[in-house]
Amino acid sequence: MGYMVDGVYHVGDDVTATLPSGEFERSRSTVRNWIGDADFPAEAGRYHLFVAWNCPWAHRTLLIRALKGLDHITVSYALPNRTDQGWVFDAEGEFADSLLNARAVHEVYSADPIRYTGRLTVPVLWDKVARRMVSNESADIVRMLNDVFDGPDFAPEALRDQIDEWNALIYKSVNNGVYRAGFASTQAAYEKAAYEVFATLDRIDAHLAESRFLCGDQFTEADLRLFPTLARFEVAYHYAFRCNLKKLSDYAHLWPYAKAIYAMPGVAETVRFDIYKRGYFSASEKRNPLGIIPIGPIVDWGTDQVGR
């Protein structure tokens, strides 16, 4: 995928870190400014997102943008499959970058004067006036867009402790848990991660038997951060990442909950099942050496499915 040192791009596999135990360890995001600070005022029309449809971390930011009606935040979508240049853009069309005319995400990072060092990830929140990155940490982007712009509040102060508890559990065991299973390099590491995924999904399913959403009757940031993993589960993680103890549709409460979120206004437009399959089943020496994309599964998310 490649990485950057002092603002210079290098081709090489810096995508994952594997511990001696064979467990996958995700690198931390390092650009973590905040809208509302002196350098980044909360002005409509000032900000832009660089995302990829099949990235679940980027999906979080598309969801908060859609659910709060933040159309004034413009978006560039990278191609579904990465190259030795990392996330890349077409010259024109759906996967072109109309803001900076970048041909790769590393060109976005190099356009910032900070001389970045690290992985080249999406999402990136960009300040169009200052021509600087605000953040490449999806959790921060979701929270700041919720807090600084008008619209529904998905992290009300009275629920923040609950939201943060769910976020911590879901990130470790579900959001990143499927990757810990999919990128494990030993049987023991894979089983540890995969069983943890399903133990947490079982726990959430039991909770949803008595609660409409994770924090009661109100849809919150915790639900928003869980949904991108659920949206990819049947078409990607169950097969490509071997998280196959159960399907999402096997859950009595979690499955209707996921479909109810999908049916919320604006959510379906942030989902691209076809691109998820193209991305997760792209050619990979370890996971899918021939790069054959399966024709299924057929999953009934509802009548307004996007990219079936």
Residues labelled catalytic: 55, 179
Distance from C-alpha of 260 to C-alpha of 264, rounded to nearest angstrom: 7
Q: Of 169, 176, 158, which is closest to residue 204 (Cα–Cα)? A: 169
DSSP single-letter state for residue 241? T
CA distances from 178 to 153, 232, 240, 245 (A): 29, 10, 10, 12
Helices (H), 17-129: 56-67, 105-111
Q: Which amino acid is at 260?
A: A
Distance from C-alpha of 68 to C-alpha of 48, rounded to nearest angstrom: 15
Per DSSP (E only), the strands in the chain are 3-5, 8-10, 17-18, 24-25, 47-52, 74-78, 118-119, 124-127, 132-135
Name 40's Cβ contacts closer than 8 Å, sequence gap at least 6.
33, 34, 127, 130, 134
State yes or no: cis peptide before 297, omega within 30 of 0.
yes
- Strands 17-18 and 24-25, how do they pair? antiparallel
